[in-house]
């Protein structure tokens, strides 16, 4: 009987430990969600940025925003941009919608003229740049050259 209980316990641990360790790590915010707490999300992003020596990119927008979806598709479809972003940035989506404008959170940053909008923060969470993404557009999408130039300019200095 003891052997069976031991085996069951061992199997449960093997199955559950990977899930527990994944939950303990940083979970990126990849959707504009009005239910999320932007302050808590930023605190977690800062911890991750400090640990990984990355710059923080706040991506402000909403699920309602066509250009927000276009910029996501643009980034996901270009391996060079996606890899550079993943290697150098902790990206955090901040929701702005009629359900949750995140006014208290966003009041700490410069006024936003349009969406999506990027705020670049250093790994300690201090604002270092405010980027109107309209300046990165090209026709009905985005310019690879402008996007890479922007990302390279604000990426953390390599030691």
Tokens of 13: 């641990």
**Which backbone phi and psi does 152 adopt, to 5 degrees?**
-65, -35
d(CA 51, CA 123): 9
Which domains occur in the chain, in start order? 25-154 (3.40.30.10)
Residue 6 has pLDDT above 50, yes or no: no
Residue 19 has pLDDT above 80, yes or no: no
3 state DSSP class of 143: coil
pLDDT tens digits for 107-135?
999 999 999 999 999 999 999 999 999 99
Where do the DSSP E strands lie in 1-159? Answer: 55-61, 89-95, 117-121, 127-132, 137-138, 141-142
pTM, full prediction = 0.83
**What confidence tier does 1 reach under pLDDT thresholds 50, 70, 90?**
low
The length of the chain, given as a count of residues: 159
């Amino acid at each position: 009987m003891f052997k069976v209980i031991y085996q069951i316990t061992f199997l449960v641990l093997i199955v559950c430990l990977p899930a527990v360790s994944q939950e303990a790590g940083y979970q990126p915010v990849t959707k504009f969600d009005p239910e999320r707490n932007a302050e808590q999300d930023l605190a977690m992003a800062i911890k991750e940025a400090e640990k990984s020596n990355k710059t923080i990119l706040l991506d402000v927008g909403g699920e309602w925003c066509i250009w927000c979806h276009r910029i996501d598709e643009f980034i996901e479809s270009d391996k060079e941009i996606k890899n550079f972003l993943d290697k150098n940035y902790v990206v955090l989506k901040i929701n702005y919608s009629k359900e949750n404008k995140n006014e208290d959170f966003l009041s700490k940053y410069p006024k936003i003229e349009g969406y999506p909008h990027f705020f670049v923060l250093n790994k300690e969470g201090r604002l270092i740049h405010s980027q109107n993404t309209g300046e990165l557009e090209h026709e009905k999408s985005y310019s690879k050259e402008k996007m890479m130039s922007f990302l390279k300019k604000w990426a953390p200095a390599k030691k």
